[in-house]
Amino acid sequence: MDLPCPEWMKHVEEKWTRLGSAKRESFSLLADIDEIYRYGQSQVKQDDVEVLLRISERYDGNKCAESATRCREQGNRSFKLKDYKSAALYYSKGVSYAGNKTEQLSLCYANRSAALFHLGLYKECLEDIQRALDEGYPSRLQCKLTNRHTQCVNKLQKHELCNASSLKQHTPQTDEKKNSITELSAAVSVHFTPEKGRHLLVAENKSAGEVVVEDEAFSLVLIPSDEQHMKAHVFGTQHIHCHHCLLQTLSPVPCQDCSYACYCGPTCRREAWRQYHRWECPSGSQLLTLGVLAHLALRVALKAGLKEVQRARESHNNSEASNSESGSCGESYLGSLSDCYHGRLYLGIYSLLPHVLQHPPSLRFLLALTMATLCQSMKDVGPETWSCNEQEGGNRHEWPDQSMLGAVALRHMMQLRCNAQAVTAIRDKEDSSLAVQSSREVRLATALFPILSLLNHSCCPNTSISFHLGLSSAEPSSLGSSTPGVAVSIRTCRDVEAGQELLHCYGPHYSRMDVRKRQHLLLEQYFFQCHCDTCALELADGTGTLPSAFSKLRCESCGSSLQMGTDTDVHVCSQSSCPRRTTNTEMQRKLQALRQLLDQALELMEKQRADGALQMLQEATSHADHFLMKTHPLQGELADATARAYASSGEESTLQAAWHLKRSLAAVRSQYGEDSLELGRQLFKLTQLHFNGGDGQSALSVIPLARRLLSLHCDPHCEELEELKDMEACLHGTG
């Protein structure tokens, strides 16, 4: 969750109400963040801390021998069923719960090494064998590990020769990712105007697909799965991704003091501890309770350290003093501090606008009380962690008290409302053995990027972003050392001429929602009225939608397209001779019924009941054809689901699966555009289907367009492009 849990929000809301109108009015006039924080701090009572601790009990982050035993036993059951991936994940949970230097921890590592061996992860298996021995694995059982170690070494030696040439070819790709740092290309510059604030312009023509900016996350927080997801799927994002660099792993190493944080290896664990986790660790449950934004805001301040925070605050205060002398007020210090480009320095983060007065007073109170209570609870839980030095592995500077830390974290919390960036990845929903996959975009983390935050919004952007997880910077970071993390590449998704602004979509995209909803969401969250070309076109039309949207509803009498009549609640046929009229209420009822059929069919597919799902999808498609054009998004979803249902029915159904997947392309192309990432991914799925179905010629005919579209939006070494390359090489006989 981004904001605090509902119970805490309700508690703060009751305190806000009890303040009375006079005190609420007085608080509403506060514009200085330090003053807002001090007011919140003055309202924190011991019962507030106790309420937070009570709510936080549901997120138990302590080591627990019983939980470790239970997870190891669940892993054993999965192992016996030959579900080695689930076994490895259960053993990893056991590793997190087990205490240091205990037999339980050594057993979990040893058992996980067996699962990793069966998964072909021999290097990781060897690492776990050594960890088990280091943790005191019982001598009576060590012959098992010795035999497994020998088998692993033999397997690796066999693979070494055949993989040597492949490893050499991939070395430049790995080095390229490791060397990525926050930088602007020479053809991009930072500009400032009072209307737009800081923004990026290209100095020369850029072709579609060119990388124009590489940026590193200053800090990030992994998004934990919600309780409902956890009950349904057992394993969440926090169990399969490193909490520091987000690299996916089946063999994480845990924090030595808590059961929640886990990492891809000792390097990330060490860096996380040095930068922020030593302070966070005793209060992990409270951080989970108060949400991702509070957690990330605090982490940004902790990572920066006292010295950098003081330097940024001094620059800010000097800028405000200068503005005061010149008669400026409010947030107009933009012209002296925020119009500068600070690159990877913390000052670049600090100078992002917090938009203090745009936050409703009740929300300002929630943020202030939340951060003040968090800092107080952290001080109570682990006061010794606040006085550390560089030799102890701390973040180089002591925090004399929590007031400055809390005020700075509050500033970052307000900034994150407009500058937080979701880090996403594509994840397959189903068994990889299927001929065509269903994938979804999942949020892994919320991050703060110094340069990406400078891009302004457009509902039809000219850039796309792709993330690199597990980055290991080859150059010192702004904190003075090489640290693992996450990077983003910003590339043009269409040709951009010199002098044009680089624009990024903040979420509301013209292909996913109409202009009225976009305008509302952008004003509510980002505090601005969008005037991009797409919004201007839709608003000028007067209908609130692009003209192409009219063609997606079908007249049931003559088959022509429907359009909105002068009465906005009625759809009329585009053919003047046809008298057909359909109310919007009736149309929404039909669409809702279709959606329910589709959802029921998808549930049947998850239960491996493809025949029942096909019957339901065919019924839904028959209904849809009466009142929806082939380009309607729901038609695309029905066709895609039908293709997957046929593909899961066996090789004899491959032709039908391919036909339906092709049918979905019209809707995807209409909704997202000819050069969209969505169309590229759909073509990639079609290539998979042709290839796995043995239709090489059809696969080769689709690969070029799929590759071109994916290259506009994705990293050159992403899984989809690598798989396209492998399929093409195989079909040409060179793979």
pLDDT digits (tens, 9 = 90+) for 234-285: 688 888 999 999 999 999 999 999 999 999 999 999 999 999 999 999 999 9
pLDDT of residue 158: 82
pLDDT attached to residue 197: 86
Asked whether 15 and 43 are in contact (CB, 8 A), the reply is yes
**Count of CB atoms within 10 A of residue 518's CB?**
25
Q: What pLDDT, in 10s, does the model give residues 328-359?
A: 333 433 444 455 666 678 988 999 999 999 99
Residue 229 has pLDDT above 90, yes or no: no
Is-contact 110 145, C-beta < 8 A? yes
Euclidean distance between CA atoms 638 and 634, whole angstroms: 6
At residue 328, the pLDDT reads 37
| DSSP three-state, residue 562 | strand
Phi and psi for 514 in degrees, rounded to 5?
Answer: -80, 170
What is the pLDDT at residue 734?
Answer: 67
> pLDDT by residue (tens digit) across 608-627?
888 899 999 999 999 999 99
pLDDT tens-digit profile of 668-686? 998 888 888 999 999 999 9
With bands split at pLDDT 50, 70 and 90, how would you rate the model's confidence at 530? very high
When comparing pLDDT for 535 and 176, which is higher?
A: 535
Q: Phi and psi dihedrals of 403, rounded to 5? A: -65, -50
> Is 233 a residue whose pLDDT tops 80?
no
Which of the four pLDDT bands, split at 50, 70 and 90, describes residue 436?
Answer: low
Task: Quote the tokens at residue 734.
Answer: 């060179």
Q: Which DSSP string corresponds to 483-525?
A: -EEEEEEEEESS-B-TTPBPEE--S--TTTS-HHHHHHHHHHH
pLDDT at 481: 38
Across 180-189, 559-568, 712-721, which has the greatest mean pLDDT? 712-721
| SS3 track for 282-328 | HHHHHHHHHHHHHHHHHHHHHHHHHHHHHHHHHHHHHHHHHHHHCCC
Instruction: Compute and round to an integer the Cα radius of gyration of the chain.
Output: 28
The residue type found at 508 is P
pLDDT in tens, 353-392: 999 999 999 999 999 999 999 999 988 665 444 444 444 4
Average pLDDT of the chain is 85
CA distance 133 to 105: 10
Q: CA-CA distance, 189 to 192, in Å (whole number)?
A: 10
> What confidence tens digit (pLDDT) does each residue in 77-86 have?
999 999 999 9
Q: Alpha-carbon distance 375 to 592, whole Å?
A: 47
Strand partners, 188: 202
For the chain, counts of helices (H) and of strands (E): 26, 16
Q: CA-CA distance, 666 to 678, in Å (whole number)?
A: 12
Token pair 């608080």 in the structure block, residue: 27
156-169 pLDDT, tens digit each: 988 776 555 443 44
Residues in the chain: 735
- What pairing do the DSSP bridges indicate for beta strands 421-428 and 463-472? unpaired
User: In this predicted structure, what is the pLDDT of residue 162?
Assistant: 58
Say if residue 432's pLDDT is above 70: no
- What is the Cα–Cα distance from 136 to 98, expressed in whole angstroms? 13
Share of the chain above pLDDT 90, in %: 60
% of residues, the chain, pLDDT over 70: 83
pLDDT band per the 50, 70, 90 thresholds, residue 317:
confident
pLDDT of residue 187: 84
- pLDDT, one tens digit per residue, over 217-227 is 999 999 987 65
DSSP letter at 558?
T
